[in-house]
Amino acid sequence: MASRLFSGMLDAIDRGAFPRTRKWAWRGVYNMLSRFWRDDDWRFMNYGFLPPGAPFALRAEDEPERAFIGLYQQAVDGLPVAGARVLEVGSGRGGGSRYIARYHAPAQMVGLDYSPDTVRRARQLNADTPALSFETGDAEHLPFPDGSFDIVVNIESSHCYADVAAFAAEVSRVLAPGGWFTFADMRRRGQLPELNSQLSTPGLTLESACELSPGVVAALDASERRKRERIGRALFMKSFITEFAGAKGSIIYKALVRGDAAYVACRYRKTGTAEQS
């Protein structure tokens, strides 16, 4: 039953059906998970990414989260984060924003999420991190003035939005001239041209794009045992959570392995130069 429900949700997303309802439904899912999945050592809700080659440096206490942190490391690697004003849209439980704040020394790190319960949970889990704050808000109507940020991060969140093009336009608006927008998410392969069109908004220039799928599958494999332990402790909806988490055998896991779905990463730059901001 859970697999059929999740498959139906994915099919509706593919068709672009009921976008406003979809947005509301995803917020309900994340509110529910924040209320009932209360593990204090679980700050991430993404599928993760393990890049090829030598592993990037992490402190010993962060090693259990390496698979999930990988998506954020690839997102900001090489960007001028030190001293920058950084916004993460769709920050979830806050692990990614916390990683950027602790490892890359931004002047300001703001995490924004549509789910009020998730924002409350993020504040509890990450209260020990300076220069980090969390706010509730809508990705399609960002509650910030023009030019407020130097970098906007968006990881595995855009599939929940009703209007991705409106989100991209808002990113362009809140970025300062010369600022960076770094994006990663998954789509059915046939949806990629539409996604590219949605993100191609005036004021943003595509600088790079790549597919992360093999590294995402590697991360899912690496985190499988830990996820199964958490799912085993759940009191209800175990099958749905298994699908949601991308565990082995789930619809999303199989789609990534077969190549029916693709996990992509893109970087865009705001027109203009930093001196103009």
Buried b (16+ CB within 10 A) or exposed e, 199-226: bebebbeeeeeeebbebbbbbbeebbee
Q: What pLDDT, in 10s, does the model give residues 152-197?
A: 999 999 998 999 999 999 999 999 999 999 999 999 999 999 999 9
Query: Among the listed ranges 30-39, 52-61, 192-201, 240-249, which one has the minimum average pLDDT value?
Result: 30-39
Report domain extents, the chain: 2-276
Q: Binning pLDDT at 50, 70 and 90, where does residue 227 land?
A: confident
Name which CATH class applies to 2-276: alpha beta
87 burial via Cβ count (<10 Å: 0-12, 13-18, 19+): buried
User: What mean pLDDT is predicted for residues 4-22?
Assistant: 52
Q: What pLDDT, in 10s, does the model give residues 78-127?
A: 999 999 999 999 999 999 999 999 999 999 999 999 989 889 999 999 99
Please give the pLDDT value at position 69: 97
* Sheet hosting strand 108-113, strand order edge to edge: 132-136, 108-113, 85-89, 149-155, 175-188, 261-270, 204-211
Q: Binning pLDDT at 50, 70 and 90, where does residue 24 land?
A: low
Which residues 6+ apart lie within 8 Å of 63 measured at CB? none
Q: Binning pLDDT at 50, 70 and 90, where does residue 39 land?
A: low
Q: How far is CA 63 from CA 23, 99, 134, 146, 166, in A?
A: 33, 12, 24, 37, 36
Q: Which residue has the higher pLDDT, 116 or 238?
A: 116
Average pLDDT, the chain: 87
Which residues 6+ apart lie within 8 Å of 169 measured at CB? 201, 202
Q: Looking at the predicted structure, is the pLDDT value of residue 2 above 50?
A: no
Please give the pLDDT value at position 19: 59
Q: pTM of the entire structure?
A: 0.87
